Amino acid sequence: MIKRNSELARTLRLSLWPGRLVKGRGKQRPYAVAVAIVALVCASQVRAQGNKGTDVSKVVRLNRAPVSKEVLHVQLPRPTVQKLPNGLTLVLLEDHKLPTVAFTMMIRPGQLADPDDLPGLASFTAAMLREGTTTQTSAQIAKEIDSLGASLGANAGFGSGYLSVNASGLAPDADKILDLMSDVVLHPTFPDSELAQYKQREQSALEQRLSNPGFLANQALRKALYVEPPLSVDSPTKDSIAKVTSADLKKFHDQHFTPGNAIVGVTGDFKTADMRALIEKSFGSWSGAAEAPLALPESRVSEPSKIILVDRPSSVQTYIVAGARTIRRTDPDYYSLVVMNDVLGGGPQARLFLDLREEHSYTYGAYSNMSANIYPGDWTGYAAVRTPVTDGSMTQFVYEYKKIASEAVPASELDDVHRSIIASFALSLEQPAQVLGSWMTVQYYGLAVDYWDKYPDRISGIDAAAVQAAAKKYVDLTHIQWVAVGDRKQIEPVLKKYGSVTVVDADGNPEP
Amino acid sequence: MRRTVFRKSLFGFLVLCGLCVLALGARLIAADVDGIAVPKLELHDTHLDNGLRVILVPDHSAPVYAINVTYNVGSRNEPPGHTGYAHLFEHMMFQGSENVGKGEHFILIFNNGGGMNGTTNEDRTNYFEELPKNQLDLGLYLEADRMRSLAVTQPNLDNQRAVVEEERRQSVDNQPYGHADLDIDNLSYDNFAYKHSTIGSMQDLNNASLQDVQNFFKTYYAPDNGVLVLVGDFDPEEALAKVKKYFDAIPSQQPPPKVDLSEEQHYGERRETIYDPLAREPQIIEAYHIPPGNTAENYAAQALAGILSGGQSSRFYQHLVKEKQLAVNVQAEPDARIGPSLFYIVATPRPGVSVADLEKGIDDELAAVIKDGVTADELAKAKTQELRRFIDQRRSTLNTANLIGQYAVYYDDPNLINTVADKEAAVTLDDVHAVATKYFVRDERAVVITMPAPKDSVAGKATGGAQ
């Protein structure tokens, strides 16, 4: 993976897979499992489907390595959850291993409140918070943060129902960091001169994104799945960046930045009572009630399956992604979708990776992903494959999607997935920020206070029938929406074998 | 001033057979910037009879452990015609050994709640896993089995060669600026060791034979050419017994040939322009030669990079992005290799600003450091940022194990994990001024410019000396 631009820029980092190392839960997807027997079956079927003569390199399971049968059951440490008189919810989790502290604030409703003609307004507001307050200039704020070795930033993700403000640093500086954070949250001024500069940087960043195949694919898929704004939007536009004004930002801030809309989480080396006092001092005088939940479009897309080809000339790979709408985070189907997704594409041990990469070497990696939100989210499966095997890769995707919906998951494979999810709780214990995030998820979605204590049992309770039912319902080939980003000249004829193809350019405009 | 003293662990009094407990003494506090104490780690450092260096680091803060095996081989060891072999080989290490099937490694780690990966750079190749503490045998067994008995077949080689070629396409050939990242090293170095890319050329990858891969394994994947690091929730005595059980019988090998990394001084700026149909905006990469990692001068260069581009109060951001509005971003990134290293500067001009104007803006910033040095405030700020980064890295047992493995292979100093923050803190204003003066030499640098090319064109380049 190459780090770029705002990150450290240069080094090409090579690894076995471009991966997450540690399992996640909550909003992050847990890893999954696939068993070699399954992979072997698909390998033989694949050859039957037209890859005759390819020498398939088979995944093999010898079962000789020593594995402890015991699954280490751990309980996530519980935070202290309190509400200030002004309605601000606090989630405080002490962790004394190292002398650091991290704050994160979620402010509803984030990008979902963007006006249709100003996509990105929430993200512009977030990015501009640090650029000046009633008492400090952008440069003063930057200097103070950097002098503390701290970080302070805000963002509003597309599709997300909240804007995040994050600050962290060394534990003895907790009060100073919190002062800075509250200053930018409560008293931003969005100066015109800073906004003008931000717009230039953002226009340039948008250009950079438009050269990235993954970004192009997700932008087109989001539009195909969600159809209407705000849910269909995945990026600001050149137009929205050009026309946003300081007054727009102020209005967004005044309307939505209230303690009733916010949850603040803190983890690190502090005492809970002290931290509550610090937060009260910084945010106690903030006022404003919670907004009523937004009315969001309900419908799942039930259009027939189609393929959008985003033409990216000179591409040497095709980025293929397919997806469908799924469920809300609070839906009872959540657990079966988690398990189904893990079987299918949750990591290097799952079916898509073992099939498309380990057996067929079409790609550096193939995965699936699911999101559930305050509105029905989505499920997606994806891989970047070399252009000449676009056809073979489509065949394997279709094969895997059909298979998971039409065949029961073998018991041993299901058992592995259960084990994988439950055992991974131990690893999260050394990432207090992740544990805090899990508990903030509970607050955000209004889940039960013992949600994570019961989670392992809920996962264990998902049987093969439930996995298959979830696949049938959500991985439905007649309604899956496909996007392929690549060189039109080479891939259009191939894609036509799999459905009706619409061609657009990088900016989303139809190509004749 | 507040101090947090890490509680002294149980192992302060342990005398372990065959284990040399590094004498860390009573002082368990490492760097101390404004009263911030970084808890020190206790390293139990020993060698097995076959030469495998074993470093055990107990940390009972979570019921997990991390294992890292770092081999002293990277792309620097590749001769012409064999580029990309170290990294291709990293992939082969997951293709099965006597008792572990192809791909079974992933399956076993993830099914038991763990995480894993392997990575390759110029100087080393590492393999690492993190697992719940009750799976200590599993991690050790997987690493030992492949060190002892890697089995490679032609179909597996063909398969992973294709995967690696896909990795190259995904990260280089199908990405804007992908080739600039490779070309800057190619221009900067004359010595082949660092001149060529770690990902390698498609032609060399295609030519790799089964015999080549087998020879590579025999030469470099021996216990006496590697380091095993365990960090986490275990008893060191029990852990060492398990390490011995799994690794003792693996035979040592002839030491691999030493690689000459020396680089002659350059005269004359080297410059290249790439016309990239995947890029939508120009980009500048400059590289200046600096000394190897873990030297006083390299630490000074790291601090200087913090002053130039660490955070929004940095010089590059405040002067080039905000005041002069020449760039949308400018980053300084010095690397730290075993051998001669590079100080990279990567910049994207603001739309409408010429590459030449931005280059001049960067030159002016470097000239200002050479002329007037940096301020005490700036240096203090950079050090605090560095310390904060280091503490964050220390949070996970896996990061900690990876760092220790790297320090052991790079500098023969695993205990650098406990002293690196002191070394960073020791950099002075004069040190920073001296490295800027000595190494920001225009006549010795390389520059790669990427310009957007028409969408349907083929990528091209133009190379030359100073303009």
Amino acid identity of B294? Answer: N
Residue A213, judged by CB atoms within 10 A of its CB (0-12, 13-18, 19+), counts as: buried
pLDDT of residue A134: 98
Among the partner-chain residues B103, B141, B331, the one whose CB lies closest to the CB of A8 is B331
Indicate whether A328 pLDDT > 90.
yes
Rounded to a whole number of angstroms, the distance between the first and last alpha carbons of chain B is 54
- C-alpha pair distances (Å), A490 with each of A28, A202, A381, A499, A506: 35, 33, 22, 16, 17
A-chain residues within 8 Å CB-CB of B166? 317, 361-364, 384-386
Compute the average pLDDT of residues A367-388.
95
Sign of CA dihedral B186, B192, B193, B196: positive
Q: Which of A57, A341, A507 to mutate to test the interface with B (most CBs of B within 10 A)?
A: A57
Question: Strand pairing partners for B412?
Answer: none
Assess whether pLDDT exceeds 80 at residue A10.
Answer: no
d(CA B310, CA B317): 9
B114 and A427: CB-CB below 8 Å?
yes
- Asked if A430 is an interface residue toward chain B (Cβ–Cβ < 8 A), one would say yes
**How far is the alpha carbon of B233 from chain A, nearest alpha carbon, in Å?**
11
**Residue ranges of B 11-70 with Cβ closer than 8 A to chain A:** 34-39, 61-64
Q: Which two tokens stand for residue A265?
A: 């989480």
Q: Tell me the C-alpha distance between B163 and A356, whole Å.
A: 10
Q: Does A9 score more than 80 pLDDT?
A: no
The predicted structure's pLDDT at residue A18: 63
CA distance B145 to B151: 10
* A12 neighbors B198 (Cβ within 8 angstroms): yes
What integer pLDDT is reported at residue B4 of this predicted model? 26
Share of residues in chain A with pLDDT > 70 (%): 88
Mean predicted confidence (pLDDT) in A489-509: 95
ipTM value: 0.88
pLDDT tens, per residue, chain B with 467 residues: 232 222 222 222 222 223 333 333 323 333 445 577 788 999 999 999 999 999 999 999 999 999 999 999 999 999 999 999 999 999 999 999 999 999 999 899 999 999 999 999 999 999 999 999 999 999 999 999 999 999 888 988 998 899 899 889 988 888 889 899 999 999 999 999 999 999 999 999 999 999 998 999 999 999 999 999 999 999 999 999 999 999 999 999 999 999 999 999 989 999 999 999 999 999 999 999 999 999 999 999 999 999 999 999 999 999 999 999 999 999 999 999 999 999 999 999 999 999 999 999 999 999 999 999 999 999 999 999 999 999 999 999 999 999 999 999 999 999 999 999 999 999 999 999 999 999 999 999 999 999 999 766 666 777 654 33
- Provide CB contacts within 8 A for B167, sequence distance 6+: A14, A364, B199
Asked if B451 is an interface residue toward chain A (Cβ–Cβ < 8 A), one would say: no
Distance from the Cα of B369 to chain A's closest Cα (Å) equals 19
* Orientation of helix A213-226 relative to helix A192-210, angle to 10°: 100
Picking from A11, A15, A424, the nearest residue to B335 by CB comes out as A11
Mean pLDDT of A224-250: 96
The confidence score (pLDDT) of residue B464 equals 54
Highest mean pLDDT range out of A12-16, A468-472, B460-464? Answer: A468-472
- How remote is the C-alpha of A41 from its chain's centroid? 32
How far does CA B212 lie from the centroid of its chain?
A: 25
Minimum CA–CA partner of A389 in chain B: B166
Averaged pLDDT, A152-157? 97
What's the whole-model pTM score?
Answer: 0.90
The arithmetic mean of pLDDT across residues A119-128, rounded, is: 98
Distance from CA of A161 to the nearest CA of B (A): 28
Place of tokens 């170095």: B189
With beta carbons less than 8 A apart as the criterion, state whether A63 and A412 touch: no
Distance CA A60, CA A160 (A): 41
Nearest to A235 by CA among A119, A380, A156, A126: A119
Q: Which of residues 383-412 of B touch A (CB under 8 A)?
A: 384-388, 391-392, 394-398
The conformation of residue B28, written as its DSSP 8-state character, comes to: -
CA distances from A305 to A405, A474, A501, A510, B241 (A): 16, 13, 10, 18, 58
| Whether the Cβ atoms of residue A122 and residue A114 lie closer than 8 Å to each other | yes
Tell me the residue type at B406: Q
Cα–chain center distance at B380: 25
Reported as a pLDDT band with limits 50, 70 and 90, residue A15 is confident
CA distance A77 to A350: 30
Longest distance between any two alpha carbons in chain B, whole Å: 69
pLDDT at A233 over 80: yes
Question: What pLDDT sits at residue A162?
Answer: 97
The band of A7, judged by pLDDT with boundaries at 50, 70 and 90, is very low
Q: Which of A146, A422, A431 sits opposite B310 (nearest CB)?
A: A146
Segments of A108-235 assigned E as strands: 151-155, 163-170
Chain A neighbors of B327, CB-CB under 8 A? none
Which of A184, A314, A414 to probe the B interface (max B CBs under 10 A)? A314
Beta carbons within 10 angstroms of residue A209's beta carbon: 17
- Tokens representing A44 are 């033989």
Q: What is the pLDDT of residue B461?
A: 74
Query: In what order do the strands lie in the sheet containing A306-311?
Result: A363-371, A378-386, A317-325, A481-486, A306-311, A501-504
Q: Which two tokens stand for residue B417?
A: 């994990």
Taking a C-beta distance cutoff of 8 angstroms, is the pair B320, B328 a contact?
no
- Cβ atoms of B408 and B73 closer than 8 Å: no
Q: Is B72 in contact with B41 (CB distance < 8 Å)?
A: no
| pLDDT class of A210 with cuts at 50, 70, 90 | very high
Residue of B nearest to A35 (CA): B107
**Residues contacting B294, CB < 8 A, separation 6+:** B336, B407, B410, B411, B413, B416, B423
Band of the pLDDT at A159, cuts 50, 70, 90? very high
d(C-alpha A105, C-alpha A166), whole Å: 6
Is residue A109 reached through a cis peptide bond, with omega within 30 degrees of 0 on the bond before it? Answer: yes
Please list the alpha-helical segments (H only) found in B10-55.
none
pLDDT in tens, A39-63: 222 333 332 333 333 345 788 999 9
- Lookup: tokens for A192: 């015109």
Mean pLDDT confidence for A374-384: 95
> Is-contact B196 B77, C-beta < 8 A?
no
Residue from the list A10, A58, A314 with its beta carbon closest to the beta carbon of B455: A314
Name the token pair of A271.
């005492």
Q: Are B300 and B427 in contact (CB under 8 A)?
A: yes
DSSP A306-356: EEEEEE-TT-SEEEEEEEEE--BTT-TTHHHHHHHHHHHHSSTTSHHIIII
Q: Is the bond leading into A304 cis (omega within 30 degrees of zero)?
A: no
CB atoms within 10 A of CB A465: 11
pLDDT at A350: 94
Task: Give first-to-last CA distance, chain A, whole Å.
Answer: 35
Higher-pLDDT residue of B152, A433:
A433
Mention every residue, 6+ apart, whose C-beta is less than 8 A from residue A356. A362, A363, A366, A383, A385, A393, A396, A397
Task: State the alpha helices, DSSP H only, in B412-467.
Answer: 416-425, 429-439
Are B163 and B91 in contact by the 8 Å Cβ rule? The answer is: yes
